[in-house]
Amino acid sequence: MLDTLLEIVNTVRNNKGLATLSDLKPSQDLRNDLGFDSLDLAELTVRIEKEHGIDIFADGFVLTVSDILAKLAK
């Protein structure tokens, strides 16, 4: 699951002109550590929903990689 999430995160980062990450840590903040803004978070949501069928923001805010993993584990 983390590998798939890493691919999605890197797609969003690359579309924004940011460097590819080699790994993700659960504690990473989506805005501060990954450099995402609200448009990037929207793209991330759409890509995760397409891949996993889950709207990660349906139940409230998601701030970290760990928050996403918890939603995907449900």
In a domain, 52, yes or no: yes
Per residue in 23-69, pLDDT (tens digit) is: 999 999 999 999 999 999 999 999 999 999 999 988 888 999 999 99
In a domain, 19, yes or no: no
Task: Summarize the chain as % helix, strand, coil (round to 5).
Answer: 50, 5, 45
Mean pLDDT of 6-30: 97
Domain that residue 56 falls in: 2-14+26-73
* pLDDT at res. 21: 97
* pLDDT at res. 65: 97
The pair phi, psi for residue 29, each rounded to 5°, is: -85, 135
- CA 41 to chain CA mean position, Å: 7
Domain total in the chain: 1
Residue that the structure tokens 């923001």 belong to: 57
CA distance 37 to 58: 18
